[in-house]
Structure formats: structure tokens, C-alpha cells
Structure 1
Amino acid sequence: MTVSNNVILNHTEINNKIRRIAFQIYETNVNEKEVILAGIDKNGFVFAQKLKTVLQKISDINPILCKVSIDKKNPWHDVKTSIPEEDYKNQSVVLVDDVLSSGTTLIYGVKHFLNVPLKQFKTAVLVNRNHKKYPVKADFKGISLSTSLHEHVDVILEGKDYKAILK
């Protein structure tokens, strides 16, 4: 059996999704001076960087980037952030990842941020695969995609040709 790659989002579509999600974050935080964009390391952080760029263009909110490091094979181990807890305490936080599959990474990321009082907490993903085994949802999502469990979604956000591919 031959496995083919299907592009589910092309460069233009991903840029449109990033812009729409940035507007949604702005609308949700219109009265805030700052918002923490906590990107899960690797693609989630790259996605957060792109959201930051658009937010700076469309609003007067100061988006602060935070890299969230989670061992995806052992997510219950320590979650680390690039900024100290004091910097996001009583702030509006958006946890950002590229793909929401089972929800494992996102739920352990949420758990980490709930150790301090927050003003507001939301989640953003580019692709929501609808295979959750935890009660976590994406507040802001680019696309919802019903896939089979043996399929995989790769998101490429570097270079000049962004794409999301279903494998």
C-alpha cells in the first residue's frame, strides 16, 4: 500500500489562519496591555512567534513570548518555561501548539500554568485532530480535521513554503 501526502493547508491558508487567530486573541484580550504567548517547544513556539508578529501589527497589545518545554514522551515530567512564573502571574496566557491530537501535551502544559493565579487562560492550535483522550479543547483553532488514528499531521512553519500535511 502506498502512503501519499496530502496538503491540508498551504502557505496562504496557514498565513490566513495565523491572522484570524491573532485577531481572535486580540478580541479576547482587547482590554489587556500584555498577553503571554506560551508556545510549546518546536512548532508550537514557531507558531507563537508568528502570532506575535501579527498581533504587533494589528493591535497595541504587547505579546510576550514564552517557550514551553515538555517531554512529549513523558509529559508528566517537569515542564519548563523560558520566563519565570512571576512574569505570567495574574496575566492573560495563551498556550500555543501546532497540532492537537490526543491532548496529552496540551493538558500537561495547562497543568503547569495553573500552578499560579492567572487573569485568563486560553489555548490555540493550528490543526485540531479531534482524537482527545483528555478534557482539553482549543479555544482558537485554524482547522478541525477528523482523521484516523494511524494518520499523522506534519506542520512546516519554516522557510518560504508553510504547509500542513496529512500522512
Structure 2
Amino acid sequence: MKILDHKKIRQKVKRLAIEILEHNYEEEELIIIGINNRGMQVALLLIEELKQLKPLPITLTRIRLSPADPLGSPIELEMPVEELNQKTILLVDDVANTGRTMFYACKPLMTILPKKIETAVLVDRQHKSFPIKVDYVGLSLATTLKENIDVEIQEAGEFAVFMN
């Protein structure tokens, strides 16, 4: 079942961008870390919307964090973690379920002292079993543990969120 179509996803991302800017207006730079593939796609949509907000007083820096399965291989950032010291960081993913992915994404950030770390997701499922609070949520869903959320964001295609 489709729960968000292309237009609704765009609206949610625009609202998220406005909220993020409102809470970080006084920052000089915002480091936006997209978690693996789908989180990176959502991060790119957010950056696109943030850049359309004029005047944008913040420098945006985009970084990919991989992999999504940190127990299988080491977590890698596209930038040396030391360069994130005393910076404002926004971790972005497509769906937050248990909070495990966001929790593990913080692992490399524990070796430095960021100014602050915030989180943003397109869909929050509210089944947290890790100490993660999502700061910016596009859509909050009450689902069963057996239901699955699938976010599809194609570069040259339609966007959709499905619940199976």
C-alpha cells in the first residue's frame, strides 16, 4: 500500500528543511550526513530544499556514511571524523524503526566532540529499542513489527513510500 506519493514526499521534505533551518539559523555550517544509500537520497532532497530557502545563511556540507550494517564492516565517512569536531551535524536516514542504524551511525562521532547532533528521517516507525530520538520527522507511523516500510527515491523518477 502506497502511503506517500511523489508530491507528498516533496511537501514533507520541504517542511523538514524549514524546520531544520529554523533550529539552526545561527549556525555557520551544517554537516548533513546521509546514512548509506536511501538516507543519502533523503539527505540530497533536504539539501536541495534548503538551498531554495533564500537567503540561506548556512554553508551545507554533504557526507555519506556507510555501511548500514556496521557489524559486517567498519563504518566509513567521506570526510575525516576529526574535521567534524565542534560542528553541527544532522544525521539523515529514510526510515527510523528501532533506532539501531542511527545509534551505530553515531559510533565514529563518539571520538570527537561535535557542537550538536540532530537526526532527521522521512518516516519514523516508533519502535525504538535504542536511545535515539528523531528530531525532524516527515511522517510518524504506528505500525506493527511485522509491517515493512519501503522508501523509493529514484534520481530521475517518482518518489514513493510503501507499507507492506
Instruction: Report how many residues are paired.
Output: 161
Deviation at 1:71, TM superposition (A): 4.1
Moved over 6 A (4+): none
- Using the alignment, how far apart are the partners of 1:73 and 1:129 within structure 2? 21
Deviations 1:89-109 (A, max 9, x none): 110000000000111111011
* Number of the residue aligned with 1:28: 23
Equivalent residues of 1:70, 1:109 under 8 A apart: no
- What TM-score, normalized by structure 2, do the two folds share? 0.93
Letter matched to residue 48 of structure 2: T
Map 1:72-111 to 2 at 5 A. 72=69, 74=71, 77-111=73-107
- Using the alignment, how far apart are the partners of 1:156 and 1:28 within structure 2? 28
- Using the alignment, how far apart are the partners of 1:17 and 1:33 within structure 2? 25
Q: Please, what is the CA RMSD of the aligned residues?
A: 1.4
Q: Which runs of 5+ in 2 are unaligned?
A: none
* Number of the residue aligned with 2:138: 142
Deviations 1:55-102 (A, max 9, x none): 112123111001000342726x52110111132111000000000011
Q: 1:127 aligns with which of 120, 123, 128?
A: 123
Deviations 1:88-142 (A, max 9, x none): 1110000000000111111011232122111111000000011111111110000
Equivalent residues of 1:52, 1:63 under 8 A apart: yes
Letter matched to residue 34 of structure 1: E
Identity among equivalent positions (%) equals 32
- What TM-score, normalized by structure 1, do the two folds share? 0.91
Q: Which runs of 5+ in 1 are unaligned?
A: 1-5
Deviation at 1:38, TM superposition (A): 0.3
- Using the alignment, how far apart are the partners of 2:77 and 2:62 within structure 1? 10
* Number of the residue aligned with 1:12: 7
Q: 2:38 aligns with which of 35, 43, 46?
A: 43
- Using the alignment, how far apart are the partners of 2:153 and 2:68 within structure 1? 21
- Using the alignment, how far apart are the partners of 1:33 and 1:10 within structure 2? 34
1:60 aligns with 2:57: yes
Letter matched to residue 162 of structure 1: F
Aligned to 2:65, what secondary structure does the other structure show?
strand
- Using the alignment, how far apart are the partners of 1:24 and 1:110 within structure 2? 22
1:156 aligns with 2:152: yes
Deviation at 1:10, TM superposition (A): 0.8
